[in-house]
Amino acid sequence: MNHAITAVFLLAATSAASAQLCAPWEVVPTPSPADATQAVIRDLDAIAPDDVWAVGSYYNGERIAQMSMHWNGSGWRFFDIPVYLSFGSGFLWAVEAAGPNDVWAAGDQIRQAPDGFVGTHTLVVRWDGSGWHLLPTPIQSGGSGDLIWDIEIVGPDNVWFVGEGHPVPVSSQPSLAMRWDGSSFEIIPTPIINPIVYGFGNGNSLHALDALGPDDMWAVGAGGDGDPIIGASQILHWNGSDWEHRPGPIPGRWHQLDAVIALSSTDVWAGGEYFGFDGAYHGFAIHWNGSSWTEFPVPTSITDFVAYAPDDIYASGGGVMHWDGESWTIVETFPTVLGPSLTSIDSTGPCQLWTAGRQLIGDSVFNFAARVAPAPACPADLNGDGLVDFADYLVFLNLYESADPRADFTADGTIDFADYLEFLNRYDAGC
């Protein structure tokens, strides 16, 4: 996904300065399908503040089904996904919009191959403003297991899909790179990176894709069948004619890369997680400077990126993280939500940031979404009467030492003397 955005403002309230621009994170009430016993948002794409798509999957006690939902500025609405076989399970893993009436989603679905074999194969659907429509994708005989993890719209007649290919022959198990030219799909060969052919950690897959242009794209991933990769680095670069291997660090016992973002040919980030020799999972972030990869400490796993500048990048995962040009830090963990896990992050501009994934409700997982919005024009107007006066001062004193986000101007989780000084500055300025 192309999440590199030119902007000059920070999106999250990580300092007093940014707190003046953006409101605190807000959990958005997000339904799951009525018959769902489990549901997860796998990806989202934000077109405008009142135009956001989220896709994923849900389980209804009998099968796993694709899920798509749309935010219109005030609430979510579900839209049906056309499929090949009504009884077949499937997932949507990716969504990407070229515009309000041109949205692509992809994943996998049980379908029948030309030889009659029924198995998991790629699924691509396209939204035209009124509904989703099925686009037939290439399907091979003799096996199954191919799927799409990510989408990148390079141009109207140049849409790329990456994921996992058919294990035919089983000794190759290639990753999948597929291109739509405006009328049909073409599978583009990718190099076999993973030396493991059988067992845990075998195969090749690409989990994420980002493009600077039609001849400059990056894709990252892991092994096949959802496995991590062992002893190799699944990083590919498209030069306009071929996919080339750009190996990076190989941490721990095994690892996977789930996100990539390219700001320039000398500024590319990839992220994921690895299982260390200490028996624990760790976040994994690496940076390409045009000639080599360098690993940077990151507080938790990474599932997606969105960037505003080289020193202003956000990532989703075990929380929302921010890169300030020197280090990665956690800026939001949603402490009022049980077990949040974020699968995607996107933005439509300054102070317009969305993230989504899943949360725990009881013993099951269900849809979760949250956003950052522009701060009120006058944040110190705590009683909302359009003035900043003594009445607001009394409200502030009443909120002192609480965690109420209205008066947490420094966004550190508590209202203290630093917030008092910020309030006085705003009081004196009249706003």
| pLDDT tens digits, 134-143 | 999 998 777 7
The pLDDT of residue 1 is: 57
3-state secondary structure of 423: helix
180, two tokens: 């739509």
CB of 265 within 8 A of CB of 216? yes
Judgement on whether residues 424 and 346 belong to the same structural domain of the protein: no
- Number of separate domains in the chain: 2
Judgement on whether residues 128 and 76 belong to the same structural domain of the protein: yes
The pLDDT of residue 378 is: 79
pLDDT exceeds 90 at position 410:
no
For residues 365 and 70, what is the distance between their CA atoms, to the nearest angstrom?
20
The pLDDT of residue 340 is: 97
Judgement on whether residues 93 and 216 belong to the same structural domain of the protein: yes
Judgement on whether residues 368 and 395 belong to the same structural domain of the protein: no
- Assigned domain for 203 exists: yes
- Assigned domain for 247 exists: yes
- Assigned domain for 2 exists: no
Judgement on whether residues 320 and 414 belong to the same structural domain of the protein: no
The pLDDT of residue 10 is: 29
In CATH, what number is assigned to the domain containing residue 332? 2.130.10.10
Judgement on whether residues 399 and 356 belong to the same structural domain of the protein: no
The pLDDT of residue 406 is: 82
pLDDT exceeds 60 at position 269:
yes
For residues 339 and 305, what is the distance between their CA atoms, to the nearest angstrom?
21
Judgement on whether residues 337 and 208 belong to the same structural domain of the protein: yes
The pLDDT of residue 168 is: 56
The pLDDT of residue 431 is: 67
Cβ of 282: how many Cβ atoms within 10 Å? 17
pLDDT class of 7 with cuts at 50, 70, 90: very low
pLDDT one-digit tens code per residue, 321-364:
999 999 999 999 999 999 999 999 999 998 899 999 999 999 99
Judgement on whether residues 72 and 135 belong to the same structural domain of the protein: yes
Judgement on whether residues 49 and 97 belong to the same structural domain of the protein: yes
Mean pLDDT across 276-299 = 98
When comparing pLDDT for 91 and 142, which is higher?
Answer: 91
Judgement on whether residues 364 and 395 belong to the same structural domain of the protein: no
The pLDDT of residue 197 is: 85
Judgement on whether residues 306 and 404 belong to the same structural domain of the protein: no
Please give the mean pLDDT across all residues of the chain: 90
pLDDT exceeds 80 at position 172:
no
- Assigned domain for 358 exists: yes
The pLDDT of residue 9 is: 27
pLDDT one-digit tens code per residue, 8-65:
222 333 332 233 357 789 999 999 999 999 999 999 999 999 999 999 999 999 999 9
For residues 144 and 428, what is the distance between their CA atoms, to the nearest angstrom?
67
The one-letter amino acid at 212: L
pLDDT exceeds 90 at position 159:
yes
- Assigned domain for 379 exists: no
**Environment class of 382 (CB within 10 Å of its CB; exposed 0-12, middle 13-18, buried 19+):** buried
273, two tokens: 């997680």
Q: What angle do CA 154, 168, 215 make, to 5 degrees?
A: 20
- Assigned domain for 6 exists: no
pLDDT exceeds 70 at position 404:
yes
- Assigned domain for 220 exists: yes
Judgement on whether residues 111 and 177 belong to the same structural domain of the protein: yes
């403002």: which residue's tokens? 9
Mean pLDDT across 98-114 = 94
340, two tokens: 């949040």
Beta carbons within 8 Å of 35's beta carbon, 6+ residues apart: 60, 61
- Assigned domain for 266 exists: yes
Domain that holds residue 408: 390-429
